[in-house]
Structure 1
């Protein structure tokens, strides 16, 4: 199969015709040529009209909680209390009472994400003594439903910790046996209050099932740095370079400049990646600087986090909105830095899902639409990439593995 995208502008450059051919991975770009309005399409070629739109790599949402979504449901009063445990208990008390069954909510939310341009996803699935594998099963069902429209990884996630409730580690292991491909962890000090035992379980299960690790870290300041150093120590000792992601971690830059640089150098040395959700007022001043992370070669991705759920009313399935939020919360105004936020939301996340994929090499690097690149693509209206991030238009066409899977915010 061959697909021709006619008259599109890769990363806002000159008008081009882009050819995609099928291969064992599903589809790759085979040619990027100056647009020729008389160019014929060979027999059997699918033609996609670019209409002068931007051609960009599609989004990679690498931090989303599909299992808690209330997208499409009426707004409800926010009833959560402060802190992770109080918020988790609020979720536990309410998630079964939603107007629509969980499996339908998860499937609808993932479908909306794909329709808006996300074709690569890493979702958390809460596993604990209350829900057991029910929430994991709902995410797994959505993954299977959309297997031809997006690639989805599922994290076995101990939202309630691993030590507070008896039987939690066994349930996490059951999820890994059932198809989870990432082992999760969360706040080793403040939630479980025993970072050594917590991380022993997380890394022990990851090593046993040969899966990567993704750890939520909300812990502040020096305490967050302490937990991070323990994670780095295990990464080095177990030879898990390239297999560990720190999510949130929005206070690691709050201690002092020397600590910030030390951590960035350690992330680069051990190939530990970071996943941001572009937090608002909480933690903005303490985030690790994006330009320094990029300069050091640290992989950084972006995600929606929860979406209009029992934790927060924010989130709307649109990674273009979250890209705007990443630029806004960091105070970026220069085009290069705003475009870099788009690169983080697409190629940056893709390199977290596949450490062997193309990595961003600096704030001016714009990969993803060159010959040899996977055909995970988004056609998007806009005069420039920056204007597209600011305007967040709806004229979009989404390609996964070289095939159109959504157009005008509708799944095909």
Structure 2
């Protein structure tokens, strides 16, 4: 396959040959060349690695449904309880909602996804199975990893641990955890379960950390200690963790160095806070960092569009990025940054100026977007997009080519 007249990372016009799901060559665009069969017309668009959403809750989506009054209550337990009270009453079934949301994500350029699937005594494995169904439906269009997620904690309700293990036994890819101190109020027991099940089923760990200040730092230190002692370097991710920079500069520096040493990655949904660890310092230290949309217009909030380019804009905005290089870095985080978390063989971003993913030999998960520059693409978020997964065109014009819409 030839992709003609595209600008890799908004550089000079090029012709890109794809062979067996990989980039085979990148050469200057030849305007005299006649279009051939199977050619993808670039039309001068920007070529990027496809987006990687490494923090999304597909199981709680209301994408495509009417807006409803927000009835959530403060705190994790209050919001979780609100979801419990309403998720079964949606206008269409859960399996259809999840598949429709994943389809919209693919259509907009996301071909690598890490989704949480809530497992507890209320939903048991129903939400997990809905995400599995969507993963299987779009197996040819996207790579999906599923995190079994104790949204309601592990220790607060009898039977939760059994259902978590059932999901791992069924094939979940990652073991989740949440706020070991603030929610379960017993960090040792909570982490015993999380890391114990991860070891038993040989899966990675991904822990939601909403905890404030010194409490969040304490939990992060406990997680790092487990990672070191159990030899799980490169297999642990911290989600959110937006308060770890709130204590003092020396604590922030120590955490950054520890995460880099143990290859503990981080994922963000670009929240409106100034207490997070500085993104540029994390990157310079070698900490893998990815981006996600979190909820998708669900019972937690009305936000979410299925377009990770929207969230890239938000990541740049909340970090106060204005320079082109830094806005480009936000886009690198949203593409290869997340990919390096899903697959640790993908090199982490080496610096804020690093723009990988489009060299000969790289996997042909790609998206073509309209825009003059990288900054304009992030600011304008145009809709003229073509999406490839493993070297095959899977979406064009915001429509997935191999599946009809479930709505």
Match in the other structure for 2:2: 4
- Work out the CA distance in 2 between the residues paired with 1:290 and 1:171: 36
* Cα drift, residue 41 of structure 1: 6.8
How far has the Cα of 1:39 moved from its partner?
A: 3.5
Q: What are the superposed Cα offsets for residues 271-291 of structure 1, whole Å, 9 maximum, x if unpaired? A: 0000000012xxx11011011
Given candidates 329, 338, 353, the residue that maps to 1:364 is 353
1: distance between equivalents of 2:389 and 2:347? 17
2:31 to 22, 37, 48: 37
Q: Which residue of 2 aligns with 1:89?
A: 81
What CA distance in whole angstroms lies between the structure 1 residues aligned with 2:127 and 2:178? 18
Q: 1:64·1:303 contact (CA, 8 Å) conserved in 2? A: yes
The aligned residue for residue 370 of structure 2 is: 381
Q: Normalized against structure 2, the TM-score is what? A: 0.98
After TM superposition, the structure 1 = structure 2 runs for residues 346-357 of structure 1, keeping only pairs within 5 Å, are: 346-357=335-346
1:185 and 1:15 mapped to 2: Cα distance? 45
Per the alignment, in what secondary structure is the counterpart of residue 274 of structure 2? helix
Report if aligned partners of 1:4, 1:41 keep a CA contact under 8 Å in 2: no
- Find the counterpart in structure 2 of residue 119 from structure 1: 111
| Cα distance in 1, alignment partners of residues 34 and 145 from structure 2 | 39
* Structure 2: distance between partners of 1:359 and 1:216: 21
Match of 2:404 in 1: none
Offset of residue 104 of structure 1? 0.3
Name the TM-score, length of structure 1 as normaliser.
0.96
Deviation string 1:287-308 (CA, Å, 9 cap, x unpaired) is: 1101100100100000000011
1:285 aligns to what SS in structure 2? coil
Answer yes or no: is 1:154 the counterpart of 2:152.
Answer: no
2: CA distance, partners of 1:355 / 1:259 = 27
- Count of residue correspondences: 401
C-alpha displacement of 1:361: 0.3
Pairwise CA distance, 1:359: 1.7
SS of the counterpart of 2:333?
helix
The alignment yields a C-alpha RMSD, in angstroms, of 0.8
- The residue aligned with 1:394 is 383
| 3-state SS of 2:321 partner | coil
Where do 4+ consecutive residues of structure 1 move more than 4 Å?
A: none
Question: Can you list the C-alpha shifts for 1:307-352, whole angstroms capped at 9, x where unaligned?
Answer: 1100010011000000000000111000000010000000000000
- Secondary structure at the aligned position of 1:123 is classed as strand
Matched, 1:290 2:279: yes
Q: 3-state SS of the aligned residue for 1:367?
A: coil
Correspondent of 2:59 among 61, 64, 67: 67
Structure 2 gap ranges (5+): 402-407
Three-state SS of the structure 2 residue aligned to 1:393 is coil
Q: Which segments of 5 or more consecutive residues in structure 1 lack a partner in the other structure? A: none
Partner of 2:239: 247
Distance of 1:10 and 1:359 partners within structure 2: 19
